[in-house]
Chain A
Amino acid sequence: MEGITGAELVRAAAFLGAGIAMGFGAIGPGVGEGFAAGKACEGISRNPEQAGLLTRTMLIGQAVSESTGIYSLVIALLLIFVAAK
């Protein structure tokens, strides 16, 4: 494997790392937000008058559980555009 410089290795690691960060980071929020949405649907079928409140609560809860996904996105973008310079 001649011809591979150290800088190249670092960039390669950064790109691979970006993929891993976003890939695995997306698992948890996806499932978690699904739970929120599921319970909101259940709640609405039990108590339809509160549909608006339940939907808003669901969106706020999802926004919070999405924050780890957003951290992954930020790290992946940092790895691609900053670390791999």
Chain B
Amino acid sequence: MTGRRKLLLGLVGVLALEVALALKAKPEIEIGAMPQWRFLLGGHEIVINSRTAVMSWLVMGIWIGAALLVRSRLREVPGRLQATFEFVTEFFDDLISDTLGPGNRAYLPWIGSLFLFLWLSNIIGVVPGLEEPTRDLNVPVGCMLVVLTMVHTSAIRKKGLKKYIKGYLQPFPPMLPLNIIGEMAKGVSLAFRLFGNIMGGAIILLVVSALVRHVLLPVGLNLFFGLFVGTIQAFVFTMLALAYTAVAVSD
């Protein structure tokens, strides 16, 4: 009971802070503004999107810290935190053996951390002052490249290079360029689906906040776009990574 009250109190606090911050915010609309660090390294200018970098390291730091914390006090009878982590691990373990068949546990760390990273990245914008790293196209594209590498290497390892290349000549050899484009389009749609949803939510929030002068409505919208859409999109990204692997490995 008291735990629930604490949660409620925390939620109310976050909402109050949100309203306070929103009231102070300027009603200007800036789309795609990206603070950057620039420095020279060996004659090349290196550009880093500072906010994205800080936010994604924050997300990673939170997960690494949580994992270390849980590991340092592993017990036979799990506490609440440990039980949550075990639930997540088991969920993805089942998911992987459902889609790829049993005996594919090696995929668990990859799929699990992909989901956890994307999930926290998508919903971190709900906390006032923080911003989703996935709002920057570079982050989804990076995750997509990891996924594509994983899908194709596991296909080559499972089927052998010859059979893998033969797959691109289906149904007949002249389809080769289109098959390659189709494979690339998979990656494009994977990355842009995540980016479009998160960026879309962010822009709609920005515009609506400016229109209603930051009164109340954005809070609900923030919860919808931040928590609900963010969770679904992180899960969709992970599930598609798994499903693409299953298809690439199977035939």
Contact = CB atoms under 8 A, between A and B. Distances in A.
A63 B243 CA distance: 12
A59 B99 CA distance: 13
A contact patch SS: helix
A67 B251 CA distance: 19
Contact of A67 (B98, B99, B101, B178): B178
B246 A55 contact: yes
B181 A74 contact: yes
Interface string B91-113: 00000001101000000000000
A55 B181 contact: no
B contact patch SS: helix
Interface string B171-194: 000000010011001000000000
A22 interface: no
B247 A73 contact: no
Given A51-B98, A70-B185, A73-B185, A56 B178 contact: no
Interface of A: 51-52, 55-56, 59-60, 63, 66-67, 70-71, 73-74
21 contacts: A51-B98, A52-B98, A52-B99, A55-B99, A55-B243, A56-B250, A59-B243, A59-B244, A60-B247, A60-B251, A63-B182, A66-B182, A66-B185, A67-B182, A70-B178, A70-B181, A70-B182, A70-B185, A71-B178, A73-B185, A74-B181
Interface of B: 98-99, 101, 178, 181-182, 185, 243-244, 246-247, 250-251
